[in-house]
Structure 1
Amino acid sequence: MLKARRWAGLPAAALAASLLLTGCGGSDDSATGDGKTLRLWHYEGPDSAMAIAWNEAIKEFKASHPGVEVKFEEKGFEQIQKTAPMVLNSSEAPDLLEYNKGNATAGLLSKQGLLTDLSPEVTKRGWDKALSPSVRTTSQYDAQGVMGSGKWYGVPNYAEYTMAFYNKDLFKQHGVKVPTTVAELTTALETFKSKGITPLANAGAEYVAHQLVYQLALSKADRDWVDRYELYKGKTDFHDAAWTYGAETFADWVKKGYIAKTSSSAKAEDAGTAFISGKNPILFSGSWWFGRFQADAKFNWDTFLWPESKLTLGSGGNLWVVPKGAKNKQLAYDFIDITMKKANQNLLGNKGGVPVAADAAAITDPKSKGLITNFNTLSQNDGLAFYPDWPVPGFYDVLVSETQKLITGSAKPDEYLDALQKAYDAGVPKQ
């Protein structure tokens, strides 16, 4: 994220009155609560696998903590993304919240001293043993807020990755083959366009569009390229072959009508509902949509990994984080623990999520089995390439605004890449 999420297909909610802060200056580590209230925030849609599993976790938490009230508030992804630093540095901080992972988000908050170091609890409760190395990367941050090492500032209880969702009925109706090569994908896009159908659902005002640009670049990249970009292991050149291919191909697809120019102002929810309604036969996005499509799509659909690419966007899921000033931290740790247990993990998997510690034999839904199998393949082959907005603070907004220009044609690919280079270089930590 959703990434920049990105992440449950939810639109950015307007700032709620409860977030209008009357003062800052946050609580310190000695802050204590009454031990009778757990304040919990997350931004997953009610039909998502995560929300279903976490609602069940709330029930189990209440049963195991008699007399404790859970005050759950659903927030918009954009709402938390934009207000977290201010909220977490105030008396309004919840005890536990879902937060986006990566250097520019959880890493930045950890560097600012706004998150609790969870390392002792991670070891004590064995959460580290449940997470594979590739999933663990986004849980740990060093003193500079760079992911991959250091203290544990978050724990994901699910994973995520991107794929192409496709409408099997429309593919069959128009004689389109499920693509396994780039050439076949191009043929599929052209076939739909020739039938008067815009093939790709898109959202320029949020993460969907720039994640597609990143996937196109990833199809020409390798792990060293990802490490240079995401982990600062070398210099990133936005005019290299991979980034150039991504920007030029995306702009070409807009020009050819595979992507609608009007999608420059669309949000992720718009792209998702366009796919659900059958308007667009393909949506490139993340596993966070899976449960939503299972619940709402009235046609046959399935997924495929991006053709001829060893890499795709993905990582451990968004993190459970505990604000430094949380008043009931032990309750927060207990809730995280419930979401890591087999029963909750199995439920998450059967509802279309990608669990990190499920019993494989307990996943009975065929589509969910395929989702998890594809993730395991990517994870084992080191194919998770994180998200494009992660490297530097504020880069999400840059990617959105500049990709919108690419859609409308107000910026050429070279100008687009120049703008990304400038913003990225300004944000990379000085070594």
Structure 2
Amino acid sequence: MKKWAGLLFAASLALTGCSAGTSGNSENGGEKEKISFIHWRGEDTKVFNELISQFEEKNPNIDVEMNVFPSDQYQTLAQTKLMDGTVGDVFASFPGAQFQSIAKANLYTDLTDSKAVKQYQPQYIKAGQKDGKQLAVPYQLVYNMPLYNKELFEKYGLTPPKNWEEFLSVSKKLQDNGITPIAFAGADIGAGQFMNTMVMNNAPDDKTITGLEKGDSKLTEEWWVKTLTQIKELQDKGAFQKDALGTKQDTAVALFAQEKAAMLATGSYSIATVKSLNPDIKVQLLAPITVPEGEAKWEGIHTTTFMLGINNRSKHKEAAEKFIEFLSEPEHASDYANQTAQHVTVNEVKYESEDLKETAVWADKKTRFQPRFLIENLDVQKAVVNSIQDTLSGTSPEEAASKAQKIIDQTINK
């Protein structure tokens, strides 16, 4: 059966009249075990409904109820939902701060010996490891860098820029031709996503980012003030659409899909939604290079995310593990990948989607793990992202960095 139960679990209870974990009668007359699956990717609802139907056909005594929450709320909602064990028998989590928080609360079941883990490429599941245990398996391999419209670039004789001056020149050429250079979702995910490529070569060593939580590095240092200054420069030169700070992700995606903007400051995870709005658009990925070409250590950003785990308070761990094992089989992971235009971390997956084949070239490039998710303290992470929003609101980069650093100092000295 279809398992789209709305955005709020409470609404699903009102509709179904029961909570995840209650039992009913299966078609063969036995007890039917119900498990809850929660995540944030509403755009994947269709393919997950299909996979759930296949799973239930294969496991007629298990019923999967799926609930999807808005991505911008999921970081704070998920852990609360997991606490009583009735929600999220299987759940997805973000790497970094959310993973660490859920692990600290002992809400992950150890998957180290699970059959599912053997299906994954070892180099891509490290984000789900802690204290020698595999607590979650990252399902997706995402490239968190702007999409660009290949045909628009070709039309105006543009190629992906190799340094900062070239990036500014590309933006001006697009503006001169009536095209918004960058669709920026400043009202929700924009700042948090765009910071990754903007900071990747300004602070090429992971220790600079991780040092924020230890007091070993500061946002008031040159690497972050420069990053904020360059983001402000883009705004001042009209690289973002009007009211970028008031623009939500759906609006920014639509602007790009309608070919009114040449770049979209999100990541590869947006390709499926863009293509659903404009099937003919040709896209690729690029990363702003903020330093001279010869000084660039990194070409782009990757993240292993959508980390599947089992709620340690679940009463249905065996059924939950069966569902993760099912999703982790190459056949089903391939279905997921090709229907969502989303790279996955499972072995022996076959990519048929032209968009996946197009962006697969990034697997051979020098990409670093998303800097934002290296910050394990959510309050520190928020302070960093908020300094970008403050800068775009008119605060000077130096003042925005100083304000954010004061919050970080208070956080880590508690």
- Compute the TM-score of the two structures, normalised by the length of structure 2: 0.83
Determine if contact 1:389/1:396 at 8 Å carries over to the other structure: no
User: Residues 128, 182 of structure 1: CA spacing in aligned structure 2 closer, same or farther, 3 A cutoff?
Assistant: farther
User: Residues 189, 382 of structure 1: CA spacing in aligned structure 2 closer, same or farther, 3 A cutoff?
Assistant: closer
Aligned to 2:72: 78
Query: What letter is aligned with 2:59?
Result: H
Three-state SS of the structure 1 residue aligned to 2:261 is coil
155-164 vs 336-345, which moves further:
155-164
**2:379 is aligned with 1:406:** no
> Cα deviation per residue 1:42-68 (whole Å; 9 max; x = unaligned)?
22133x4xx455334312311221132
Aligned to 2:283: 302
> Cα deviation per residue 1:115-164 (whole Å; 9 max; x = unaligned)?
13323xx324151562333x2232023xxxxxxx4433221222112222
Distance in 2 (alpha carbons) for counterparts of 1:373 and 1:53: 25
User: How far is the alpha carbon of 1:266 from its aligned partner?
Assistant: 1.7
Distance in 2 (alpha carbons) for counterparts of 1:35 and 1:394: 42
1:257 to 238, 249, 254: 238
Aligned to 1:26: none
Determine if contact 2:141/2:344 at 8 Å carries over to the other structure: yes
Three-state SS of the structure 2 residue aligned to 1:303 is strand
Determine if contact 1:37/1:69 at 8 Å carries over to the other structure: yes
Superposition CA RMSD, Å: 3.0
Correspondence 1:121-160 to 2 at 5 A: 122-125=112-115, 127=117, 130-133=120-123, 135-141=124-130, 149-160=131-142
Three-state SS of the structure 2 residue aligned to 1:282 is strand
Determine if contact 2:95/2:128 at 8 Å carries over to the other structure: yes
Determine if contact 1:276/1:293 at 8 Å carries over to the other structure: yes
1:345 to 303, 327, 333: 333
Distance in 2 (alpha carbons) for counterparts of 1:57 and 1:16: 20
Correspondence 1:245-394 to 2 at 5 A: 245-260=226-241, 262-306=243-287, 307=289, 308=293, 309=296, 310=298, 312-351=300-339, 352-359=341-348, 362-374=350-362, 376-378=363-365, 381=366, 383-387=368-372, 390-394=375-379
User: How far is the alpha carbon of 1:197 from its aligned partner?
Assistant: 3.0
Aligned to 1:200: 182
Three-state SS of the structure 2 residue aligned to 1:321 is strand
User: How far is the alpha carbon of 1:40 from its aligned partner?
Assistant: 1.3
User: Residues 69, 32 of structure 1: CA spacing in aligned structure 2 closer, same or farther, 3 A cutoff?
Assistant: closer
User: Residues 234, 266 of structure 1: CA spacing in aligned structure 2 closer, same or farther, 3 A cutoff?
Assistant: same
How many corresponding residue pairs?
Answer: 388
User: Residues 401, 106 of structure 1: CA spacing in aligned structure 2 closer, same or farther, 3 A cutoff?
Assistant: same
Aligned to 2:150: 168
Three-state SS of the structure 2 residue aligned to 1:285 is coil
Aligned to 1:58: 52
Determine if contact 2:89/2:317 at 8 Å carries over to the other structure: yes
User: Residues 400, 219 of structure 1: CA spacing in aligned structure 2 closer, same or farther, 3 A cutoff?
Assistant: closer
Distance in 2 (alpha carbons) for counterparts of 1:182 and 1:123: 47
Aligned to 2:87: 93
> Cα deviation per residue 1:235-259 (whole Å; 9 max; x = unaligned)?
1221333212210000111111112
**2:38 is aligned with 1:45:** no
Gaps of 5+ in 1: 1-12, 21-30, 142-148
User: Residues 69, 79 of structure 1: CA spacing in aligned structure 2 closer, same or farther, 3 A cutoff?
Assistant: same
Distance in 1 (alpha carbons) for counterparts of 2:211 and 2:347: 32
User: How far is the alpha carbon of 1:312 from its aligned partner?
Assistant: 3.7
User: Residues 71, 365 of structure 1: CA spacing in aligned structure 2 closer, same or farther, 3 A cutoff?
Assistant: closer
**2:401 is aligned with 1:417:** yes
User: How far is the alpha carbon of 1:414 from its aligned partner?
Assistant: 0.7
Query: What letter is aligned with 1:359?
Result: E
User: How far is the alpha carbon of 1:382 from its aligned partner?
Assistant: 6.0
User: Residues 255, 328 of structure 1: CA spacing in aligned structure 2 closer, same or farther, 3 A cutoff?
Assistant: same
Query: What letter is aligned with 2:40?
Result: Y
Three-state SS of the structure 2 residue aligned to 1:228 is helix
Identical aligned residues as a percent: 20
Aligned to 1:5: none
Correspondence 1:188-227 to 2 at 5 A: 188-225=170-207
Distance in 1 (alpha carbons) for counterparts of 2:392 and 2:170: 21
Distance in 2 (alpha carbons) for counterparts of 1:167 and 1:382: 21
User: Residues 137, 274 of structure 1: CA spacing in aligned structure 2 closer, same or farther, 3 A cutoff?
Assistant: same
Determine if contact 1:204/1:263 at 8 Å carries over to the other structure: yes
User: Residues 372, 171 of structure 1: CA spacing in aligned structure 2 closer, same or farther, 3 A cutoff?
Assistant: closer
> Cα deviation per residue 1:257-282 (whole Å; 9 max; x = unaligned)?
11245111222222112111222111
Query: What letter is aligned with 2:139?
Result: N
